[in-house]
Amino acid sequence: MSRPRILVTRRWPAAVEAVLSERFDATFNSDDIALDTGQLRQALLAHDAVLPTVSDKLPAALFEGDAIRTRILGNFGVGFNHIDVASAKAKDIVVTNTPGVLTDCTADIAMLLLLSVARRGGEGERELRAGLWSGWRPTHLIGVKVTGKTVGIVGFGRIGRAFAQRCHFGFGMDVVFHNRSAIDPMEAARYGAVQLPTIEDVLAVSDFVSLHCPGGAENRHLMNAARFATMKPGAFLVNTARGDIVDEAALISALEQGTIRGAGLDVYEAEPSVPEKLKTMENVVLLPHLGSATEETRTAMGMKVVDNITAFFDGREPPDRVV
């Protein structure tokens, strides 16, 4: 029996690619350049499985017609709002993701962004590298103390909880959060956290706000002009979740007008495009979507995909099935 034919849309860690080559008739994107719509459509027509990433947009139009060969999309990542899952489901295509293994590293990046924007780390490094540092002085690059402040978390899933743990037990921060569903107070207390009824309640009391909720239509522009106006004066926004959660035009306006003091961003609405105004702002720390970018985590994510598609083609239920 011939091996299932799969397409891997981007380069993955070598150890994962080796396993995929061993188990499947695997085609890799050797150029590591994001596939366009036409190439993704051809992939669905010609392969039993397509293994996409967040950089691959799979809208409803790609699933039209009766010639689709693909039976499973083994997504490399937790978020899957770049895939029209309803259209995939209508075509009986299984969609899986990779939860759990990137929790700690994404929480670490959120902490990095919080510290960097509060203590003006990006500004300081740019000044030093440009040869503009004139030496220590009492009023140079004065930032904001982190220890003992209040952090508000929007979305209290695995990553939100890991971030809360770092903030509370590492930096003595008070933690409040909003979540779509109620969290047992005893469970929240394990992370030093208290649930508040609304997002607005969280924004009103938080010195730092960190987003850890899913992207997609339900949460598109969850952080809009009205919600930025609700934040404490001098507060900071951190986003390591999905770019579409934040209305970037409203964020830029809030930063320009001093409604909030700064922002730390790892994700953007139209990646890899980043608004030029954000790039020029000294009170914004920008990272190129590094949340899960460690050797250990990216390899673990890839092996999760291997496990999911292996189970599917063996006739078993994929462990991380989304639809």
**Could you confirm whether 137 is annotated as catalytic?**
no
Residue type, 225: A
Nearest to 174 by CA among 202, 133, 215: 202
Q: What share of the chain is helix, strand, coil (3-state, %, to 5)?
A: 40, 15, 45
**Could you confirm whether 321 is annotated as catalytic?**
no
Q: Are 76 and 11 in contact (CB under 8 A)?
A: no
| Active-site residue identified among 5, 119, 289, 321 | 289
The CA distance from 19 to 304, in Å, is: 12
Residue type, 158: R
- Non-local (6+) Cβ contacts of 104 within 8 A are 162, 297
| Active-site residue identified among 5, 23, 271, 321 | 271
Which spans in the chain are helix H? 14-23, 37-46, 85-90, 103-118, 121-129, 158-165, 171, 185-189, 199-205, 225-230, 248-256, 276-280, 295-313
| Active-site residue identified among 242, 261, 269, 298 | 242
What is the dihedral sign for C-alpha 202, 203, 208, 212?
positive
**Could you confirm whether 289 is annotated as catalytic?**
yes
- By the 10 Å C-beta count (0-12 exposed, 13-18 middle, 19+ buried), 89 is classed as middle
- Active-site positions? 242, 271, 289
